[in-house]
Amino acid sequence: MRIIRRIALGMFLILTVSILLTVSFSPNVPARSAPTAEQVRNGKMAAMQLRDLRAATATGPTQVRFDNDALDGMMALAANALKMDRINATVKDGLFTGEMSIPFPLGAWINVRADIAGESRGFPALRLKIGRLPLPPSVSRPFAELIRQILRLRGADVPPLDSVVRKTAVKKDVLEAELPPSRGDTLLRQFAGLKTGPVSGKTVAKIYCALTQAQKRQPESNFTVQLRRAFTVAQYAGTEPPEQINRAAFVALAMFVVDERAGELAGGAVKESASCRQPAPLLLLEGRSDLPQHWSLSAAMGAMLGNDISKAMGEWKELSDSLPSGSGFSFADLAADRSGLRMARLASDPDQAVRIRTALQTASSAQILPPEVLALEEGLSEKAFTDHYQTIETRKYQAALARIDAMLDRVGIR
């Protein structure tokens, strides 16, 4: 009995010391505000470097370079999408530093910092610090491997650490990394379905091919007709549960309306549909060709990535459009985004999947997007948007979104 007490006391002391070393009473990382249009642009440009890895060959260029503007943009987008506003990454005087402050019960915080310096072959040597507890690279690598295994258990195809990153080099104010060429699976697809579960690429391809064949037999420019076709075919497209079939239908519709690359949200869909591929037709919703693309792509992303990330991506698009080279911030576009997202959320609910699928088979254009959205503000420059709404987190902006949602509630499928 005495031995058991000593063991229990020892474990208690170890736990107490660990908490004292790792927990702080204040965050080291300041809270980020909502992303600005410039941060969105910088984040998108950084993400484009990763996207371009798809075109790289086994011996082709695979290097990405991130300066502080790129890192700040990526952190701003990540914080907004993941609702983790205390994250930061910088590179200065040859040292890359990534930081995060995580809230802990009773007002405490866990502050995490990772440093990389110099050049490394394979996965970089990380120097971690959790609170006041430093962890050398010999401990940091097993920690990173644990995260990789957790992601694999959740369905992500994450290769070994030394294959994820071939080489890193931290210059004076730039982080360079050599990454492997994409194998056709985009980085976005690695995380698609982690929250919602995967869908069958074959089922997506079956619905997509049915849409292209129907368009050849009877061309139709009305987006709502294409939506009805997709969910009529979906009823007989596979043996999976109805909610999974519905999610596959949204991905197939986005492939048909926007671009075949939308199929990368579902493993194998692009390859499986190669035999029936055709260019995306010009489709109209409320007389506009951009609204079908907003609606269908948002629905597909909502079905595969969840609503939080998909909503954030829609807002990033509008913030980017508010810059001088864009068409302006559009609340009509946001209304189409939000309509597609809510349909994806309802259709992905096991308790409502059959009912929503049946409703979409006979939906009217007004139920998909009411004509009142055409009266919403559009073409706002960055200055006009910030003068009136400040950011996408202010009460005034959230009130504008609430009015859109109320408009969709009045006539939409619920």
Interval 12-39: pLDDT, tens: 565 555 566 677 889 999 999 999 999 9
Q: What is the pLDDT of residue 11?
A: 65
In this predicted model, what pLDDT tens digit does every residue of 86-134 receive, in sequence order? 999 999 999 999 999 989 888 889 898 999 999 988 888 888 888 888 8
In this predicted model, what pLDDT tens digit does every residue of 364-379 receive, in sequence order? 999 999 999 999 999 9
In this predicted model, what pLDDT tens digit does every residue of 138-157 receive, in sequence order? 877 887 888 778 767 766 66
**Residue 16 class from Cβ within 10 Å (0-12 exposed, 13-18 middle, 19+ buried)?**
exposed
Please state whether the predicted TM-score (pTM) of the whole model is above 0.85.
no
Q: What is the pLDDT of residue 44?
A: 87
Average pLDDT score over the chain: 87
Query: 381 vs 3, 34, 43, 119, 412, CA distance in Å?
Result: 72, 17, 19, 42, 30
**pLDDT class of 310 with cuts at 50, 70, 90:** confident
**pLDDT class of 185 with cuts at 50, 70, 90:** very low
Report whether pLDDT(184) > 50: no
